[in-house]
Chains A and B, each alone.
Chain A
Amino acid sequence: MEYEAVIGLEVHVQIKTESKIFSPVKAGYGHEPNALVDPVVLSLPGALPVMNKAALDGIMKAGLAFGCAIPDTCKWDRKNYFYPDSPSNYQITQYDQPICQGGEVEIELPGESRNVMGEHKAIKLTRIHLENDVGKLNHFAEDSLVDYNRAHTCLMEIVSEPDMRSGEEAFAFLTAIRQTMVYCGISDCDMEKGQMRADANISVRPVGQKEFGAKIELKNLNSITGVKNGIEYEIKRQTRELKKGNTIIQATWRWDADQGRTEPMREKEDAHDYRYFPDPDLMPVRVDDVWRERIRSEIPELPWDKQRRFMEEYALPYTITSVLVPDRGLSDWFEAAAKQAPDLAQALGNYVANDLLRELSEADQQLGECEMTPNSLLTLAKAVAKGVITKQIAKDVFIEMFKSGETADQVIERKGLKPDFDESQVRIWCQEALDENPRVVADVRSGNAKAINALLGPVMKKSRGKASPQVVGALLRELIDAGE
């Protein structure tokens, strides 16, 4: 029997804000333990929560970017449970009236090869709601230590429909979420810093069966690769169990990345009873069209749209766009140059995706730190297009420009790279090459057009590499045709 997996993800994303969700204390990562706390975060008696408006703006931006509906009202509920990560014994969340409903995430599956765009697919969302993050426990042999710095960080939970069928799709889903969040400036989604965390619900069923199988909730997926590997392992395990005639019992398992396997988590037997009820300390939120439209206007062009546009508008190959577009700053940098000279866009795309990234990485620099500007790169592309320097020489000019911040013309001038001859000199070298290679000329004249390439080298050599291959090619053809 053939089996298929059904996967739904719950993705937590921290919203990048100055202060916490219900307290004005600073939000941050990497501080000394319990350095970012106040009476609200510690749930001291009498402390009252007050909403951070930026958290609402952030989640609405995410919701609108994913095409969610933003209902007119939403409210806050308490999810009650005892665990030291939450000193109030409840988490403030949104139970039956989340701020974002529905929506979908566009994902790209791997193509046949790296040069080919893969299939795009929409993964449906159930909802996105807002809640406070909780403290972090450090477990030791005898006891546990709690740090509440993370507690009350603005946190959104994105819940997908059981719409995915493989670890690869889950990987693509998380990648797409991260790209959109980073593009919109909502979150940096650094999984190592816990800014993005994912749990997966995985079940397996015979192909054709409508009902879902019993699901395993898989936790501890703390990298995007971990999500893919953990899910793939769990699908194989469940399929193997079902094939043996065993049943899957709904439970929570964890992914052990070091061992490369999943294992059941020790849990109390009784089901959770969270006793949700509306939080009496917090007023409901009402959203109007003015607010929705203000947030919508702040959403930049989203990555997939930008990639499609770059391929159409600038005729960039998929490989170049898939390097440029995931980085909003890099793609904007490219476009600042390309929109001034769309006919040079492919050359510019190559310089940015190859030369610029290589030099940045060698210099260990961020894009914002580098001396080169889009306008100076444009001078280089133009110099090559005009035949002032060859593509080969341009590679070296690029490196000089990157180091000094000069324009291409300044580097060409300073290094004396400009040809010290004019076209009449090139014509003389071409004629020499024809005279020296009569057999090639005969070959071309008898119809083998490609044979002309054999004459390029000798002319380039005579010009010490400075002649423009385009000009040389054209002159050679002209002279051969004229001699016929």
Chain B
Amino acid sequence: MSGRPPSEETTFVRPFIMTGGRAEPLQAGLRLETLVVAVGPPDESLAFERRHIVAVCERPMTVAEVAQRVGVPLGVAKVLISDLVVAGRLACRQPAELPLQMLERIRDHVRAL
């Protein structure tokens, strides 16, 4: 194993390395469209993807957009984002069922596109 030259693609990091082997987010209920936003700027205590995520979330960003911008699979993004929410580095807000007036407002906006 030790004598083997590095493979061509040394930048590829297995998804389970990024999440420390976990596949389930600490916090359930993160959806693709859940908005997350950084509580503060990224600092030295965060490394690699986590730091990147906090930087990307400088303004509110959906989970799907975070996955795309950071370039990680969705499942990985969910685990990392939930870690950061639990650690108080990201805030997220999940709307409950939308009131009828909101649905009507969305419809009116859509009709006016």
Q: Do A and B come from one complex?
A: no
